Homo-oligomer: A and B are copies of this chain.
Amino acid sequence: MDEEKSIDEPVVYDDLVDQHTDELTELLDNHDMKLLRERMNEMQEYDVAEFLSSITDNRMPMLFRMLSKEKAADVFANLEAPDQERIINSITDSELSGIVEELYVDDAVDMMEELPANVVKRVMRTATPETRNLINQYLHYPENSAGSIMTAEFVDLKKYMSVKEAFARIRRIGEDKETIYICFVTSAHRKLEGIVTVKDLLLADPDTVIEDLMDRNVIYAVTTEDQESVSEKFSDYDLMALPVVDKENRLVGIVTVDDIIDVMEQEATEDIQIMAGMTPSDKPYLRTSTTEMWKNRIPWLMFLMLSATFTSMILTSFEDRLAVQAVLIAFIPMLMGTGGNSGAQASTAVIRSLSLGDVEPRDVLKVMWKEWRVALLCGLSLGGVNFVKMLLLDGMLLGNSSITVSVAATVSLSIVFIVMFAKVVGSFLPIAAEKIGVDPAVMANPLISTLTDAVSLLIYIYMAKLILKI
């Protein structure tokens, strides 16, 4: 693989985007406005947005105004909220209205959720009554629901239409739709009756009636459904677009696969944040303020610090006994670390499998039995290596005469039991959480380490009593 890469030197992706930005920046520096306008209007929206957001002075809104009307809305949707705000604050009401009407309603709603109230007010004032109503309706769906990520621009057909009529309708209304490739067949009361793809239409005879062509077996979501469940449907059924219906089974919007890609990134980020003991936030790192970060991080740190009181109490109450064999103290951090790491591995593996659907709560015994065997193998390998290491390295090489065979055996046997405890509990807790409706990710590293810290210590002290008679 490495060899092939060196022959081939594939363009690194980030370099490609940078290249586009560099090209536009050079044109701007040379004041070649004619060519700059031309290039901006033919480039991908994402690249133009990257270029615009790299310009921090007031030339940015001026450059934005050089874009054609349709391009402007597409580029606008690709900008981040602070840049959108800069533009809104420097264009006229009629320009603003033009952009808002061109935006897909899901992009408009995303923007509204991030802009300050006074800017939102101005946007709403310039929008047409229909757009305003639509945005208001969409803003009311619960956060992270299918309703909050869907959009309204879809092609609807009737089942009595012929393929020819369907194509005529697609040609007439398709221009501004988010997708035309999946068309939704609805009744007179807007109830969803089936779907038909442009592929079906293209391969069919022009006189076929939609009713004979449509798939009645539709995968759909309801507006209040969680976005995680929506993204599971996309991944299981390889969908391109999913219809969203309200409580009366009326078609109110569609979710397209490009939005699901964002949802998946967001859900993975959330899981990762929770697993590291942080309150999840989908705000980009550099745009999160210091106090917001503090608020996201302090609750778990505080809780875990206070929970460590138990470990302190255990240590305090065995202080005198441990003092007899002071050498034992030196291995406490290693034992706790090994317990924490073993538990984190098990809990992480199980949490991820639960979220991918590879493991379900009913598998709890299978999982714990597997972890028990893995833990036995890991525990024995670690314990064995540690036994030899303590005698050879700590004892002989570093000349610590307090390290006897019994001491090495105490520490090594403790490792075996600690690893087994950590892995079995680490795999059980996330499943238990899922079962009682708590996010399993909460049961990840930090919580498990605090628990294993205390138990590791107890196991260690018990072993010392047993072997060293402390």
Contacts and interface: CB of A to CB of B under 8 A. Distances in A.
A251 to B, nearest CB: 15
Contacts of A262: 235
A349 B258 CA distance: 24
For the complex of A and B, 8 pairs with smallest distance between CB atoms: A308-B334, A276-B348, A1-B142, A238-B258, A285-B353, A268-B268, A284-B358, A13-B229
**Chain A at the B interface: SS class:** helix
Contact of A358 (B10, B170, B285, B457): B285
Contacts of A1: 142-143, 145, 224
Interface in A293-307: 293-294, 297-298, 300-302, 304-306
Interface stretch (A23-31, A51-59, A335-343): A335-343
B394 A312 contact: yes
Interface string A161-201: 00000010011001100001100000000000000001100
8 contacts: A1-B145, A276-B345, A285-B350, A300-B341, A304-B341, A323-B326, A333-B336, A340-B449
A305 B284 contact: no
A269 interface: yes
A99 interface: no
A285 B349 contact: yes
This chain: how many copies in the complex? 2
Interface in A190-247: 198-199, 202-203, 217, 219, 222, 224-225, 229, 232-240, 247
Interface stretch (A40-48, A110-118, A461-469): A40-48
Contacts of A290: 370, 373-374, 377
Given A170-B202, A199-B180, A240-B257, A333 B269 contact: no
A94 interface: no
B450 A304 contact: no
Contacts of A286: 353, 358-359, 363, 366-367, 370
Contacts of A449: 337, 340-341
Interface stretch (A65-73, A84-92, A130-138, A380-388): A380-388
B457 A333 contact: yes
A359 B285 contact: yes
Contact of A330 (B171, B224, B269, B316): B316
Contacts of A13: 225, 229, 232-233
A359 B269 CA distance: 14
A126 interface: no
B331 A312 contact: yes
A5 B298 CA distance: 31
Contacts of A312: 330-331, 333-334, 394
Given A240-B257, A378-B294, A273 B233 contact: no
A344 interface: yes
A276 B275 CA distance: 10
Contacts of A356: 265, 269, 284
A386 B304 CA distance: 12
A119 interface: no
A277 interface: yes
A349 B202 CA distance: 48
